[in-house]
Amino acid sequence: MQSTTGNENRLLAALGYPIWIVALVVLFTDMKNNRFMKLHAVQALGFNIAYWVIFYFALEFIISALGFWTIYGLIRLLQLAWLALAIWYAYRAYQGQTFSIPVISQFTDRYVQPGT
C-alpha cells in the first residue's frame, strides 16, 4: 500500500469534495490503494450524498409547506453553505490533513479500515 500524500494525491483528494465524480474515480481505480485518497474519496462521497438527501427532503418539505417562491432564498443559502463547506474540506484535504466530518464520518469510517 502506498503511503505518500504527494501533490497529485492531495489534489485529487481535495477535488473529490466539490466534484463528486473525482471521488468516484478514485474509488473505482487503483488509487483507492492509497489510504489517504480512499479516506477522502469515501468522505467526499458521503458528504455529497448527505447534501443531496438533505437538499431534496428539505426542498420537498419547504415547497409543500411554504410554496416555491417563498423559499428561493433558502435554496440558494443551502447551496452556498454546501459550496463553502466543500471548499473548506477540499482545502484541508489539499493541506494533507485527515479529518472527520460530523455524522458523515461515522458512516464512512467502516469503509476505510486501518490496513485497507
| Residue 38 belongs to some domain of the structure | yes
Q: Which domain holds residue 62?
A: 7-98
Distance in Å from the first CA to the final CA of the chain: 8
Q: What is the per-residue pLDDT across 7-45, written as a single tens digit (0 to 9) for each?
A: 889 999 999 999 999 999 999 998 888 989 999 999 999
The model's pTM is 0.80
Which SS3 state, helix, strand or coil, does residue 113 take?
coil
| Residue 68 belongs to some domain of the structure | yes
| Residue 106 belongs to some domain of the structure | no
Q: What is the per-residue pLDDT across 92-106, written as a single tens digit (0 to 9) for each?
A: 999 999 898 988 888
| Residue 104 belongs to some domain of the structure | no
| Residue 27 belongs to some domain of the structure | yes
- Residue with the three cell numbers 486501518: 114
φ/ψ of 75, rounded to 5, equals: -60, -45
- What is the total count of domains within the chain? 1
- Residue with the three cell numbers 471521488: 23
| Residue 107 belongs to some domain of the structure | no
Furthest CA-CA distance within the chain: 52
pLDDT category of residue 1 using cuts at 50, 70 and 90: very low
Rounded to an integer, the average pLDDT of 110-115 is: 67
| Residue 91 belongs to some domain of the structure | yes
Q: How many CB atoms lie within 10 A of CB 86?
A: 20
Rounded to an integer, the average pLDDT of 79-89 is: 94
| Residue 24 belongs to some domain of the structure | yes
Name the more confident of 114 and 56: 56
